[in-house]
Amino acid sequence: LHLSLAQMDLCIEAFGTSKQKRALNSRRMNAVGSDILSTAVTKAAANIIDAKGITALIQDVAQDDVQNISIFLPPCHEDADKPEDVYKFEDILSPAEYEALRVPAEVFVNITPEEIVKKTEEKSYCSFVLEELKFLPHDEKSRDHKARCLWFLDILIKFSFLKVIKKKHPMGPECPHIINRKLMKNFTLLTYNNGSVQNLISASMKAKITAYVIALALHINNFQTDLTVLQNDMKLQESRMMDIAKAMRLKVSKTKGPPELELDQNHKLATLSLPLPVQKAPGGQRKRKKMK
């Protein structure tokens, strides 16, 4: 059976081992190619992966352990001299993507305290973003930078709630094309179902989005951020959030949550500091049972 590269990619996404998926993800991150899958490839791939369907793929890493979560983390530069170089900002947002955020982020740059109160009542944005908007810098350049980061973080969290994506621009017309393209390319799984190729946010992609959200929040908050607020925003179990944070080599401690939020009991605070903690071996079978 002779398969094209695109067909092989689809097979690896559906059935591949962790090592194969990691290699595929690495190659895609470094490749520049068309987002369009030809009809011929679609039909040929259908014959190969039709049996898998969509339901099983949603659970693709729901039972994985910490070791496998590491496949979906942003690139980690363990030999970095500064915290900001461990998960580099350019690995989260490229210069072109960052530039594209300038226009939509103006809504945050110009926001007033009264508008923040209104947006909080309407729950227009996630709690993390609403809280951080209260502390935008006065300096024009710093304010613009934080606004862009917050706008993208909010879009990432909203995107994580989608399951099967059928629209070409799922986050609406105000989301720049390059950002929509980034979301579809880097944070969805391509799968075949009911005669067509679909983009799916599987369990592994949700974990990947979470890791990128944490990395961005660390850059926003001087490399220390409240994980519990993000966990509540993303509607995750605490055990899942802790697994991802520990896989990212973060130090986790207890802290008090913001008094404005209802859940102001003990929160988990993540800190990125050097030297990085030694990577612990996964919990094996015990961990696997816990995450079912």
Q: For the segment 1-55, what is each residue's pLDDT rounded down to a tens digit?
A: 445 566 677 777 777 777 777 777 766 655 544 444 444 455 555 544 454 454 5
Calculate the alpha carbon distances from 259 to 41, 93, 107, 255 in Å: 54, 31, 26, 12
Q: For the segment 131-173, what is each residue's pLDDT rounded down to a tens digit?
A: 999 999 999 999 999 999 999 999 999 999 988 887 777 788 8
8 Å CB contact between 24 and 13 = yes
8 Å CB contact between 273 and 251 = yes
The domain segmentation of the chain, as residue ranges, is 52-258+265-271
User: What is the pTM (predicted TM-score) of this model?
Assistant: 0.74
Return the percentage of the chain with pLDDT > 70, whole number: 73
CA angle centred on 216, ends 211 and 222, rounded to 5°:
125
Other C-beta atoms closer than 10 Å to the C-beta of 116 total 18
Cα dihedral 30→36→38→39 (10° resolution): 140
Which neighbouring-strand residues pair with 198? 191
Query: What DSSP letter does each residue of 185-240 carry, written as one string?
Result: HHS-EEEEETTEEEEE--HHHHHHHHHHHHHHHHHHTTTEEEHHHHHHHHT--HHH
